[in-house]
Amino acid sequence: MLFNCVKIVIPMLIVAFITWTLFRSYSIFYAGGGDVDWYFGSFMTVRLSAVLATSFILVSTVKPLDLIKALLFFKLPRKAVLVAGLTFRHIHTVANDYRTIKEALTSKGFELDKGSLIKRIKNYSLVIVPLLVRCIENAEKLSLALELRGIKIENYGRFSEKLSGLDILVMTICVICIVFAILYYWIGVF
């Protein structure tokens, strides 16, 4: 299992190293000279691999119930604990669904890991579409179960309040600051 995870992560780390080494000077947050920075590329790649390794260890060793108990021990709000627990639990569900769909396709004769990069991406689209459908079905079942238990899921996507003049002023100032930052860092204006 560890070898499969490393096999998946290595191409991502290579792309990250190349990107951070060669294209660092094109970043909006970079204000320095030089085109190629091997040290920065190596540093960011090691940093990314540490984050990925820590995440993998956390997901593979901690049970969702233990995480929920720990978050409740620190007196976090119950809604935040519920969301964190459901998210953590859903990672295992998606991983199991992925394995099931991949095994079903390989039993039908599809070779997902052979061919060029473009062919493999097309082959994995056969896995991603059913996986997304399964995730949506699971989310619907989960929301129905939560509603049956009396836990309300509010619709945060719509606002009933109108924006005030101060809100519009603050948003306009933020957009102007972002535009000035982009002009300063990319073009060198100002």
pLDDT attached to residue 169: 92
Q: Give the CA distances from residue 59 to residues 21, 67, 98, 143, in Å, rounded to whole numbers and listed in that order.
A: 30, 10, 16, 23
CA-CA-CA-CA torsion sign (138, 141, 146, 149): negative
Q: Where are the domains of the chain?
A: 62-153
pLDDT attached to residue 158: 44
Tokens 């535009």 -> residue:
179
Token couple for 58: 């956390």
pLDDT attached to residue 27: 64
The full length of the chain comes to 190
pLDDT attached to residue 134: 93
Element spanning 77, H or E = none
Burial class (CB in 10 A: 0-12, 13-18, 19+), 98: middle
Give the Cα separation of 21 and 11 in Å (integer).
15
- Torsion, Cα 154 156 157 158, to 10 degrees, reads 90
pLDDT attached to residue 157: 42
- Kindly give the confidence (pLDDT) of every residue in the chain, 190 residues in length, as a single tens digit, with 9 standing for 90 and above: 566 667 778 888 888 888 888 877 666 656 555 567 788 888 889 999 999 888 888 878 888 888 888 888 888 888 888 888 888 888 888 989 999 999 998 898 888 778 787 887 788 888 889 999 999 999 889 888 888 887 765 544 444 567 788 888 988 999 999 998 888 877 776 5
pTM of the predicted model as reported, rounded to 2 decimal places: 0.55
Three-class SS state of 66: helix
